[in-house]
Structure 1
Amino acid sequence: MSQDKTRPAAALVLGALLNTLALAAAPARPLADSEPVTHIEPLVVTAPAVGDRPLQVTIDTQAAAQPIPAQDGADIIKSIPGVTISRKGGTGGEVILRGAAGSRLDILVDHESILGGCPNRMDPPTAYIFPGAYDNVTLLKGPQSVRYGPGNSAGVVLFKNDPVHLDAPSAALDASFVLGSFGRNDQSAAVLAGTPQFYARIEGVRTESDDYEDGNGDKVHSRYKRTGGRLALGWTPDARTVVELHGSLSNGEAAYAHSMMDAARLDRENIGLRFEKTDISPLVETVEASLYYNHIDHVMDNYSLRAFVPSMMMPMPSSSNPRHELYGGRALATLALADSTKLTFGADFQSGRHSTRNATGSADDAEINTQGIFAELTRTFAGNRRLIAGARLNSWHAEDKRAVISGMMGATPNPTAGADRNEVLPAAFLRYEHDLAAVPVTLYAGIGYTRRAPDYWELFSYQGIATSSAFHASPEKTTQLDAGATWRRGALTAFVSLFANDVSDHILIHSSYPKGMGSAAVTRNIDSRAWGGEAGVTYALWERLQIDASIAHVRGENRTDDLPLAQQPPLEGRVSLTYATPVWSAGVLSRLVAGQDRYALNQGGIAGQDIGATGGFAVLSLNAGWQITRYAQLTAGIDNLLDKTYAEHVNRAGSGDPGYVQNIRVNEPGRTFWIKFRLSF
């Protein structure tokens, strides 16, 4: 059966490749490295373009991408080399960069933090993000910036809207519709209207899907429905000033294959105010300031999105209503100290409160506050050489408001009830960049240090080794080296990005740690090391035919336990071939993932724990695009063309709804058809 199923698909892929090559062969003239190249962007993106800045990748959120166009904050960045998504269901995946997740990789929207409410990490920040509501998303790798808050040892993901400046009264519309397999149905629309002095921007998004099927044809408990809206009102008294008041409302629900409960409510309320002024004087280039409030209201239960089945763990219908409130803000200025020297400095703060409401009432369980100051200096030298340095100092305060700690055996008194603690969190980095004139390559090397305090989940969701509270877990200290190069010449663009780090007091979650007469899920500190990196190449074979290839690998060691560091993704490669004209594009994408036999059973982080080895897999996908008019675009694709049954190594255990086939891991979707229509004018 499997051979009969595969041969037609393989023939289809081979035919598509031959047709693409035949079309591309019409010019039949390879490009020389020395001649100028006019790159034609494909209508469906399979790999983000190499950034102009080291350690930085930027994605256009409005561009159609394969796999199926993104519906949450995780989907939009999973095509970046080094990024892995841990799947729970159809939405709300955990973003993992170079084997690091959680607060090691902060996710910000317009420089505002979002933190989910579920103590078991059912609703990470990605579950509340609609990528189409933002202009672009940027990934910064490593501890090589201090502008975006404390910690962030793996990097930062920035969802951003660009400042709006209108030269004349005008209006613009950008709308899109996505239809796909398994009932996928998305609509989004954004309207921008205004004058040179005022503007209004309103956006609405709706996304929905039924349970998807894996390659075996088995349904996965994964349906979801999410809606969101954003309104921004701006005042631009001149071309150098923006004052914007914005607010967002969203709600949703999501079924999860990894859990015995689902997200019956995924609600967010947000309001923010930001100010930006540029070209103030020869000394002062920019001044920025912002304030925001985010409120997450999350309900999880075992009956709204599934048929309730009594179990030993949950003999009765159950629900819980955790909430997370955040207040924050920042202010910074950029000074041109000299023609070759720029200094950016500022301060920020964040105040968070977590609470839980259930049948017995509502109570706060945690408060975490932080305030920081930071500065970054860029000095440019002769010969296109740059030195970038930065430093940050944060004051961190946490308070344990739990009177009792709930567990499988009932509630017990909290040994750290009413306790508070304070930490000083320093961070610094130094990076050297050199643009070589003789060879079109940029070289860079940097070293960074950051101290990361335990986050809410590490402090309050697990036990400590000695007591039932992990409130006194030590901060994590990371020292990391980053080095790499970017090459651009004619038809060739290539990059390599390498890193190595040493982490003292790495915060590890051990879900089955021997304790007393049994075992418990605990937060503990270890020492670790990790190294790896990413490399990629883009080459224009002919004027309209382009090949993209990338590879990513990471390897980590738990030095304390003499074990592999848990939750490390395997070696992964991607190859895509695209034929593009200004009107048409067609492409094929192959994702190749090696097996992973390096794991540490029941160890990991707040995003999940290792559950065993995995085999390798290969996934093949096709896409095509048509620029119908200047204003209308149609794109389509087939993901997982061969209907492969597979699951990512970094994954949550598939122990959810017993009404579905249970697998060791949450399997990925099988063959998926999708089509997207976009209208913009």
Structure 2
Amino acid sequence: MKTGHFRFSCITLALTSLQGQAAAMPAAHFDEPVMTVTAPLSSPLEVSSSPKTPRQPVPASDGSDYLKTMPGFAQIRNGGTNGDPVFRGMFGSRLRILTNGGEMPGACPARMDAPTSYISPESFDTLSLIKGPQTVLWGPGNSAGTVRFDREPPQFSQPGMQGDASLLHASHHRWDENADLSVGSADGYLRVIGNHSRAGDYRDGSGAVVPSRWNKWNADVALGLTPDADTLWEVTAGRGNGDARYAGRSMDGSQFKRDSLGLRYKQSDIGEVFNAVEAQIYYNYANHIMDNYSLRSPGSGAMPMPMGEMGGMPGMDGMDGMDGMDAGMDMDMSQPMAMQLDRRTVGGRAQGTWQWHALTLKSGMDAQTSTHRNREQAGWKKDARFHDVGLFSELTWHASARSDLIGGARLDRAWVDNFTGDGERARVTALPAGFLRLEHRLASQPVMFYAGLGYTERFPDYWELFSPTSGADGHSSAFDTVKTEKTTQLDIGAQYRGKRASGWISAWLGRIDDFILFDYDPHNRYISRVSNVDATTLGAEAGVGYQLTDNWSTDASLAFTRGENRSSHRPLPQIPPLEGRLALNWQSGDWSSSGLLRLVNGQHRIALNEGNVVGKDFAESHAFAVFSANVAWRVAPSVKLSSGVDNLFNRTYSEHLNMAGNSVFGYSANTPVNEPGRTWWAKVNVTF
């Protein structure tokens, strides 16, 4: 079977119904949801859900597409797929993305292949989000939060087979096939996962074609040994590839090749004090090609562009390896061009768990090495290599039946080798982090609240050190001048779960010293500088739900973010606007239906020509409202059928976080890329 063009004989039909804040609804009010609009919450601080449960809008094509349905998340859009996730206005390595405990940083200098672009959500069992710097277990510098996509080992009490499969069809020639099959017994298992997703260019609400087509596939296999109920040995391997064209870039991704290997060991119930141990190693390799001819014609609309250091240009892709070229040279983008880059990441972690009467301690270490290269005529050339070694401990004290005190600390040694220029250079630094949080549940009311204070330091990532044209002065290199980022943040929240009503709120106030900021030349959008400023961020996410009758329920969520550049007394750039969601849900027996109204305010607090390596603020944005609906039928206990429509009234709108459209496709300067117009979809899901 050719992996990139397979279809599944077992097809499922699952409908993405859109329950509005299912997170806020007590689990007892519903059976297993046919679909959700936002993620269920285990607490206001930590979100946990199953990516296999479909969501509205139409099921996600990648990890970022899935995350954007959760309160507080936004996405830097550039077409149909491979957008970049933003949480609470924070972008890039401030939000750590992990798959099965490993990291897959992309290779493109302008993040055409963001880490989430290699994730097919439906192939994972659990999605976890920990907001803010409120954990130290999963690597350094996670100031915005930590996102984990994980696969759980299948459980077999006797020999057999289990799994699920699905088929989706939607407007704009969208087809998705997914299959997840396991065979095994109490002694072990073999799990095979495959998916294929493809779509054509979509049309916006005005009927204009937006270049956005993609074609992706992934295949993964896991072999696990479970000699007893408390022991797991598992080896994994995976491969994927695809292509995507972008309305908001001057080049497309003609290859997103992925290779992954992993080995993990878990042992639980070891003893009364030393209770559990887990360890893993992983290997992730990304091989990326971008060009301007495989998925488009270079076209007469392309203009000669500066040839100098072009890393970090919104709408253009970073041209790594051109740092030594004369900035006065011109590059005619109407001529065929291509670049190939790769990144090899190897890492691992080990963690032990100790338990006493009222104390639980998790402690261990992790390490990672990540090497970036670009391919030139003479062959592959290494330009950067990142290293990190960290020690961490997290202690939970069950102070009483209703109160827990959780604290943690970690210390990392991070360094990077720079192979560009005349000789090798290095930067080395120590990164401390820690937090302390109180969680309390009231005795007389179903109410829980928490308050936590966290601190973390973040080492500049590849895109901040190597993609900008220069440092803040316009002459020195970013590698030599950009500082580590220091975040101190207060997180508070509360949750109420009653018989008919429920609600939650999660809020934060952060002080960021040496915030890393991109500044783009207003006269030449291909010149970028990076500097450190002091910043403040604050905001909240909230949700409420109410069971109106046995069949009807309603829920709503709201997300607000505000960022301030304290150094210049201006707004921080790339901050998403206020967003609210209102949902009305109906369920009776095997049938359910939902309607979702998404309301997004305009964003008028912008920092013109400032941003990050992917996007910049180029204009204020307008408010919009979009209505979507769905209906679902559980045909049998193992078969679901669903169908829906997104953007029912065919509104023409664009998101604030947006890459300006590329002139080759007829966009004028600073024109945002519009979102899809009315989109119909249907999905079938089978579980066995």
Same-fold call, TM > 0.5? yes
Equivalent in 608, 623, 630 of residue 623 of structure 1: 630
Offset at residue 101 of structure 1 (A): 1.0
1:591 and 1:619 in contact (8 A); partners too? yes
Offset at residue 606 of structure 1 (A): 2.5
Match of 2:313 in 1: none
The residue type paired with residue 489 of structure 2 is Q
The residue type paired with residue 412 of structure 2 is N
Match of 1:25 in 2: none
Instruction: Note if 1:591 corresponds to 2:598.
Output: yes
Equivalent in 62, 82, 90 of residue 72 of structure 2: 82
Match of 2:576 in 1: 569
2:247 and 2:665 in contact (8 A); partners too? no
2:537 and 2:564 in contact (8 A); partners too? yes
Cα shift readout 1:360-387 (whole Å, capped 9, x = no counterpart):
5320110110000000000011241010
Q: Take 1:329 and 1:613, find their aligned partners in 2: how far apart are those partners? A: 43
SS at match of 1:65: coil
Equivalent in 284, 291, 307 of residue 297 of structure 2: 307
1:43 and 1:624 in contact (8 A); partners too? no
Instruction: Note if 1:326 corresponds to 2:318.
Output: no
Q: How does 1:578-617 map to 2 (within 5 A)?
A: 578-617=585-624
SS at match of 1:126: helix
The residue type paired with residue 428 of structure 2 is N
Match of 2:9 in 1: none
Q: Take 2:552 and 2:176, find their aligned partners in 1: how far apart are those partners? A: 31
Assess, with a 3 A threshold, how the Cα gap between structure 1 residues 663 and 585 changes in structure 2: closer, same or farther.
Answer: farther
Equivalent in 542, 547, 551 of residue 540 of structure 1: 547
Offset at residue 661 of structure 1 (A): 8.2
Equivalent in 656, 661, 671 of residue 649 of structure 1: 656
Assess, with a 3 A threshold, how the Cα gap between structure 1 residues 659 and 613 changes in structure 2: closer, same or farther.
Answer: closer
Cα shift readout 1:85-131 (whole Å, capped 9, x = no counterpart):
11112111111110001000010001100111111111101111111
Assess, with a 3 A threshold, how the Cα gap between structure 1 residues 322 and 553 changes in structure 2: closer, same or farther.
Answer: same
Instruction: Note if 1:476 corresponds to 2:485.
Output: yes
Q: Take 1:315 and 1:83, find their aligned partners in 2: how far apart are those partners? A: 36
Assess, with a 3 A threshold, how the Cα gap between structure 1 residues 514 and 65 changes in structure 2: closer, same or farther.
Answer: closer
Instruction: Note if 1:348 corresponds to 2:366.
Output: yes
Q: Take 1:42 and 1:195, find their aligned partners in 2: how far apart are those partners? A: 29
Q: Take 2:215 and 2:284, find their aligned partners in 1: how far apart are those partners? A: 21
Q: Take 2:401 and 2:166, find their aligned partners in 1: how far apart are those partners? A: 46
Offset at residue 82 of structure 1 (A): 0.5
The residue type paired with residue 57 of structure 2 is P
Instruction: Note if 1:46 corresponds to 2:37.
Output: yes
SS at match of 2:212: coil
SS at match of 1:350: strand
Match of 1:9 in 2: none
- Pick 1 or 2: higher relative contact order, CA cutoff 8 A, min separation 6: 2
2:44 and 2:504 in contact (8 A); partners too? no
Offset at residue 514 of structure 1 (A): 9.0
Offset at residue 165 of structure 1 (A): 3.3
Equivalent in 429, 442, 446 of residue 452 of structure 2: 446
Q: Take 2:519 and 2:459, find their aligned partners in 1: how far apart are those partners? A: 18
1:273 and 1:292 in contact (8 A); partners too? yes
The residue type paired with residue 596 of structure 2 is L
Cα shift readout 1:322-370 (whole Å, capped 9, x = no counterpart):
101100000001110x221000001000101000013453201101100
Q: Take 1:656 and 1:280, find their aligned partners in 2: how far apart are those partners? A: 62
Equivalent in 115, 118, 122 of residue 125 of structure 1: 115
Match of 2:316 in 1: none
Q: Take 1:121 and 1:535, find their aligned partners in 2: how far apart are those partners? A: 31
Instruction: Note if 1:279 corresponds to 2:297.
Output: no
Equivalent in 373, 392, 410 of residue 391 of structure 2: 373
SS at match of 1:273: strand
Match of 2:155 in 1: 165
2:573 and 2:610 in contact (8 A); partners too? yes
2:619 and 2:670 in contact (8 A); partners too? no
SS at match of 2:207: coil
Match of 1:556 in 2: 563
Q: Take 1:369 and 1:264, find their aligned partners in 2: how far apart are those partners? A: 29
SS at match of 2:122: helix
Equivalent in 486, 489, 496 of residue 498 of structure 2: 489
Assess, with a 3 A threshold, how the Cα gap between structure 1 residues 59 and 37 changes in structure 2: closer, same or farther.
Answer: closer
Q: How does 1:415-454 map to 2 (within 5 A)?
A: 417-454=423-460
Q: Take 1:656 and 1:362, find their aligned partners in 2: how far apart are those partners? A: 31
Cα shift readout 1:580-607 (whole Å, capped 9, x = no counterpart):
1340001100000111100001111223
Match of 1:521 in 2: 528
1:636 and 1:676 in contact (8 A); partners too? yes
The residue type paired with residue 507 of structure 1 is I
Assess, with a 3 A threshold, how the Cα gap between structure 1 residues 656 and 271 changes in structure 2: closer, same or farther.
Answer: farther
Offset at residue 38 of structure 1 (A): 3.9
Offset at residue 138 of structure 1 (A): 1.2
Structure 2 unaligned residues grouped into runs of 5+? 1-18, 20-24, 306-332
Match of 2:317 in 1: none
Q: Take 2:425 and 2:245, find their aligned partners in 1: how far apart are those partners? A: 36
Offset at residue 651 of structure 1 (A): 1.3
Match of 2:647 in 1: 640
Q: Take 1:529 and 1:512, find their aligned partners in 2: how far apart are those partners? A: 24
Offset at residue 37 of structure 1 (A): 5.5
Assess, with a 3 A threshold, how the Cα gap between structure 1 residues 219 and 676 changes in structure 2: closer, same or farther.
Answer: same
2:618 and 2:670 in contact (8 A); partners too? no
Q: Take 1:290 and 1:574, find their aligned partners in 2: how far apart are those partners? A: 39
Give the % identical residues. Answer: 41
Offset at residue 41 of structure 1 (A): 4.7
**TM-score, normalising length from structure 2?**
0.90
Offset at residue 657 of structure 1 (A): 3.3
The residue type paired with residue 458 of structure 1 is E
Equivalent in 384, 399, 424 of residue 402 of structure 2: 384
Q: Take 1:131 and 1:233, find their aligned partners in 2: how far apart are those partners? A: 20
The residue type paired with residue 554 of structure 1 is T
Offset at residue 671 of structure 1 (A): 0.5
Offset at residue 48 of structure 1 (A): 2.0
**TM-score, normalising length from structure 1?**
0.91
Deviating above 6 A after TM superposition, structure 1's stretches of 4 or more consecutive aligned residues are 660-663
Instruction: Note if 1:508 corresponds to 2:555.
Output: no
Moved more, 661-670 or 100-109: 661-670
Q: Take 2:603 and 2:597, find their aligned partners in 1: how far apart are those partners? A: 19
Q: Take 1:458 and 1:362, find their aligned partners in 2: how far apart are those partners? A: 22
Q: Take 2:44 and 2:544, find their aligned partners in 1: how far apart are those partners? A: 15
Q: Take 1:513 and 1:68, find their aligned partners in 2: how far apart are those partners? A: 37
Q: Take 2:274 and 2:385, find their aligned partners in 1: how far apart are those partners? A: 37
Assess, with a 3 A threshold, how the Cα gap between structure 1 residues 529 and 38 changes in structure 2: closer, same or farther.
Answer: closer
The residue type paired with residue 381 of structure 2 is A
Q: How does 1:131-210 map to 2 (within 5 A)?
A: 131-210=121-200
SS at match of 1:608: coil
2:595 and 2:630 in contact (8 A); partners too? yes
Q: Take 1:383 and 1:332, find their aligned partners in 2: how far apart are those partners? A: 27
Offset at residue 79 of structure 1 (A): 1.6
The residue type paired with residue 611 of structure 2 is G
Q: Take 1:111 and 1:625, find their aligned partners in 2: how far apart are those partners? A: 34
Match of 1:5 in 2: none
1:292 and 1:327 in contact (8 A); partners too? yes
2:639 and 2:686 in contact (8 A); partners too? yes
The residue type paired with residue 192 of structure 1 is S
Q: Take 1:523 and 1:38, find their aligned partners in 2: how far apart are those partners? A: 50
Match of 2:322 in 1: none
SS at match of 2:90: coil
Structure 1 unaligned residues grouped into runs of 5+? 1-19, 21-32, 404-413
1:204 and 1:229 in contact (8 A); partners too? yes
Cα shift readout 1:286-308 (whole Å, capped 9, x = no counterpart):
21000000000000001000012
